[in-house]
């Protein structure tokens, strides 16, 4: 029974206790919950009731990527799962995602999610289309369609693609998914397993300019590799089509 390491980066977030509870309440029990305190100065008292049930790591502030990498480096599970300290997992999240990944022999997967407000009230659903590899890569040339907290991946994947880029404070997830997608296929799990919280203090609202700049950096970083991959796939497709037509016409 594989162990899943749920890594929760935490920095001054008032909702961290709710996130921890949702991780500990997973129906799949072979988990470890790793909370990485990225130099918080408040709300650390909310973690105290769970210290006996979690792995709690304190470090100097270095950003989300740094906290995720610290969690990965301290993890003992065969699978990695990311939970932001203001978001929530449904109780069946780990069980459902792991089961489907094993059934499909998948290395990495993601899912749609539910948006909630600061009070935890339902706002809307965000359901991505089920992309094939080529359409997924084309999408990544323009924007990141994946919510990081819906991702589950085999832990040994990081030995191949590397850890999160700590020089990117806001687009480190976009960068990571690009690296993974160039080597692996993402399995889309069409189940709503994560609650994503929108609130006034969230980074995506308060750092929009920085996010936009870093997003352009990532686009430029992988544009050539993605376009090369797309061109190769298109060339291979046309070669196979020509060969099939030749064979079907009796070699004439």
Left, alpha or beta for 132 (phi > 0: left; psi -120 to 50: alpha)?
beta
pLDDT digits (tens, 9 = 90+) for 222-246: 999 999 999 988 787 666 655 565 5
pLDDT digits (tens, 9 = 90+) for 13-65: 999 999 999 999 999 999 999 999 999 999 999 999 999 999 999 999 999 99
* pLDDT level of residue 200 (50, 70, 90 thresholds): confident
The confidence score (pLDDT) of residue 132 equals 85
Joined tokens for residue 82: 């990311």
The confidence score (pLDDT) of residue 112 equals 96
* pLDDT level of residue 207 (50, 70, 90 thresholds): confident
Pair 35, 10: CB distance under 8 Å: yes
203 has a pLDDT exceeding 70: no
Mean pLDDT of the region 173-184: 97
Domain extent listing, the chain: 4-248
**Across the strands, what pairs with 37?**
10, 58
The confidence score (pLDDT) of residue 248 equals 61
How many CB atoms are closer than 10 A to CB 98? 21
Query: What letters, b where the CB count within 10 A reaches 16 and e where it falls short, cover 118-129?
Result: eeeeeeeeeebe
Measured N-to-C along each axis, helices 208-248 and 133-140 cross at an angle, to the nearest 10 degrees, of: 150
Architecture of domain 4-248 in this structure? Alpha-Beta Complex (3.90)
């Amino acid at each position: 029974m594989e162990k899943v390491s749920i890594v929760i980066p935490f920095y001054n977030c008032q909702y961290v206790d709710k996130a921890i509870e949702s991780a500990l309440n997973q129906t799949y029990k072979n988990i470890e919950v790793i909370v990485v305190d990225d130099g918080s100065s408040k709300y650390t008292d909310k973690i105290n009731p769970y210290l006996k049930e979690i792995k709690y790591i304190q470090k100097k502030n270095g950003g989300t990527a740094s906290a995720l990498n610290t969690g990965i480096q301290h993890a003992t599970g065969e699978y990695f799962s990311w939970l932001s300290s203001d978001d929530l997992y449904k109780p069946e999240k780990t069980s459902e995602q792991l089961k489907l990944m094993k059934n499909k022999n998948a290395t990495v997967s993601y899912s749609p999610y539910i948006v909630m407000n600061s009070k935890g009230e339902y706002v809307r659903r965000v359901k991505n289309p089920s992309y094939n590899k080529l359409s997924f890569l084309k999408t990544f040339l323009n924007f990141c369609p994946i919510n990081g907290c819906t991702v589950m991946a085999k832990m040994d994947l990081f030995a191949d693609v590397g850890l999160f880029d700590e020089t990117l404070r806001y687009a480190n997830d976009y960068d990571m998914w690009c690296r993974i997608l160039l080597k692996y296929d993402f399995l889309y799990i069409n189940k709503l397993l994560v609650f994503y919280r929108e609130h006034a203090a969230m980074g995506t609202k308060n750092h929009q300019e920085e996010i936009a700049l870093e997003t352009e950096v990532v686009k430029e970083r992988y544009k050539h590799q993605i376009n090369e991959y797309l061109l190769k796939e298109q060339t291979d497709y046309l070669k196979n089509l020509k060969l099939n037509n030749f064979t079907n016409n009796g070699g004439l």
